[in-house]
Copies of this chain bind each other. A is one copy, B any other.
């Protein structure tokens, strides 16, 4: 069974393949009366758009979103919001080779093993192009949580991390890497240029912080706020790890060092927990960190097999991102927005 929907009280279902006529999403459960137009969505899509700099894939997609339902006189009606984005710049012939052979690290073999067939054009449904639908749905979700500010940025590329002491909020949108440390951004420019020229790829770590989340969102035990965030982020293409707050570093700490003492306010003297305790928000910033692997699309030939099981090798010549984690930042933001909006509605349902 395939699942193409995310969310509980607020839900979105996405559809579409990399080289089909279009992609899109339906957002269901949106509260009525919110002002919404394409201009509320387009800027977020533009941030994620391919081809915006030489550091991302050279596929040129305008990613113009159309709202097909759920609006009346500029406001949401509470009925499903259908969002569509046309595919414009498909070049399926670039991908001819992958019709026959499996790209190791890609979904090619797993899809064939599951379904017995696959749309190999540009990766079909497994393409990162699907994340545009998430960004569009996330833009709607943002309207539901205006009290929350969400910011994602890249903290590490290929093992080269930012200097936390140089963190500059205003730098994030000033370079093509969503990098809050201008010096790191300069280093990364050279790094990605090298990687791109070598036909290689490199991984990255994205961090996302949501401020303004009131205490009490989330749930005990199974739809915990952190559990939902983990599911949301791990569902993004190329993601292999998710941390909340101190994450794996907390596993190396003593209880005394990991404590978040409280003072009147309530205020917290630390935020090792990343704003979540027992699955429920504490009122501190919600912090998630996400590991993106290097894309498996590289020029170096890799041993593989073809659909008949015979051994061969493959190198990827199609257009692709040398570092998918960069464009992952707007996607992580969108998923954070969606999870928080969903949890806000769920909290309201049970606790009024």
Contacts and interface: CB of A to CB of B under 8 A. Distances in A.
Interface in A257-284: 258-266, 268-269, 272-274, 276-283
A204 B251 contact: yes
Interface centre among A1, A102, A234 (most CB of B within 10 A): A1
Interface string A213-225: 0111111111110
A100 interface: no
Interface string A36-55: 00000000000000000000
A65 interface: no
A174 interface: no
A16 B126 CA distance: 27
A96 interface: no
Contacts of A244: 234, 240-241
A295 interface: yes
Given A215-B109, A215-B113, A1 B346 contact: yes
Contacts of A14: 80, 221
Oligomer copy total: 4
Contact of A113 (B2, B242, B280): B280
A146 interface: no
A13 interface: yes
Contact of A29 (B2, B28, B107, B226): B2
Nearest to A205: B251
Interface residues of A, number: 153
Contacts of A351: 31-32, 78, 114-116
A347 B113 CA distance: 11
A352 B347 CA distance: 11
A266 B202 contact: no
B114 A15 contact: no
Interface centre among A68, A233, A311 (most CB of B within 10 A): A68
A327 interface: no
Contacts of A126: 220, 278
B240 A296 contact: no
A183 interface: no
Contact of A78 (B31, B325, B348, B350): B350
A101 to B, nearest CB: 9
Interface in A277-304: 277-283, 291-298, 300, 302-304
Interface string A103-117: 011110111011111
Nearest to A239: B226
Closest 6 CB pairs of A and B: A107-B278, A3-B223, A201-B255, A113-B215, A110-B280, A159-B252
